[in-house]
């Protein structure tokens, strides 16, 4: 499933969606910055080893600890945009209330799984914090990276709650264009959106429609 459109209006749901989306966008930006820093560190490490025979101390430790940041900080943003891998073979043939009911069930089950993961990952962080767990190379504390996981999953859980709210609202209103949830787009629409992105054309606004 590609990056799909998310419609907006002046409802409380839509305002909550847009507020959370700002936080999700910021976290995704931070994840991107971490990747950029990793590229810089890797380049410096390679050049330092090659030219001065002086690699960065604890390079592997820094890479290992940073992986949690760029792997998890964008997970809620991707869910909001409908960017996670999923199967639309059956869902694409559904319409109206049946479609939203199936999407609601999927989002609810995902929420349950996420809550379990939050609990488990928080315990993992708490143990690392209590025992002073550190990396093998330069003894970097591991708890900051482990804290990122339950934090990012909590943001995802909030996103899933909003999407469940959106699907319930769509079922009640019998609408084909609900707000605050990613809408399934056909292949032609996805291709057109990707072409506009490549050409540098900006949309008139997130979720704007006639």
Tens digits of per-residue pLDDT, 183-196? 876 666 666 766 77
Query: CA 116 → CA 123, 153, 174, distances in Å?
Result: 11, 10, 32
Residue 122's pLDDT is what? 98
The rounded percent of the chain whose pLDDT value lies above 70 is: 88
Which helix (DSSP H) or strand (DSSP E) does residue 116 occupy? Answer: helix 96-131
Residue 10's pLDDT is what? 93
Residue 188's pLDDT is what? 66
Give the model's confidence band at 172: pLDDT under 50 very low, under 70 low, under 90 confident, else very high: very high
Residue 100's pLDDT is what? 95
Domain boundaries defined on the chain: 12-181
Residue 87's pLDDT is what? 76
Tens digits of per-residue pLDDT, 69-99? 999 999 999 999 988 888 777 787 888 899 9
Residue 5's pLDDT is what? 84
Residue that wins the pLDDT comparison between 176 and 187 = 176
Residue 2's pLDDT is what? 44
B/e letters for 8-35, b = 16+ CB within 10 Å, e = fewer, are: beeeebbebbeebbeebeebbeebeebe
Residues in Cβ contact with 189 at an 8 Å cutoff, skipping those fewer than 6 apart? none
Closest CA to 148 of 82, 77, 67: 67
Residue 1's pLDDT is what? 42
Tens digits of per-residue pLDDT, 12-21? 999 999 999 9
The rounded mean pLDDT for the chain is 89
């Amino acid at each position: 499933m590609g990056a799909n459109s998310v419609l907006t209006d002046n409802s409380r749901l839509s305002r909550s969606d847009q507020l959370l989306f700002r936080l999700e966008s910021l976290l995704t930006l931070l994840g991107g910055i971490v990747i950029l820093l990793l590229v810089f560190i890797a380049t410096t490490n390679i050049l330092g080893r090659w030219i001065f025979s002086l690699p960065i101390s604890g390079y592997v430790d820094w890479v290992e600890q940073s992986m949690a940041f760029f792997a998890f900080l964008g997970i809620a943003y991707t869910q909001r945009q409908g960017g996670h891998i999923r199967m639309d073979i059956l869902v694409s043939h559904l319409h109206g209330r049946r479609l939203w009911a199936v999407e609601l069930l999927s989002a609810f089950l995902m929420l349950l799984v996420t809550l379990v993961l939050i609990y488990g990952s928080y315990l993992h962080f708490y143990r690392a914090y209590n025992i002073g767990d550190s990396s093998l190379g330069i003894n970097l504390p591991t708890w900051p990276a482990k804290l990122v996981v339950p934090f990012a999953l909590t943001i995802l859980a909030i996103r899933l709650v909003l999407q469940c709210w959106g699907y319930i609202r769509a079922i009640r209103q019998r609408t084909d264009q609900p707000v605050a949830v990613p809408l399934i787009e056909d292949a032609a629409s996805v291709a057109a959106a990707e072409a506009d992105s490549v050409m540098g054309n900006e949309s008139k606004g997130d979720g704007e429609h006639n």
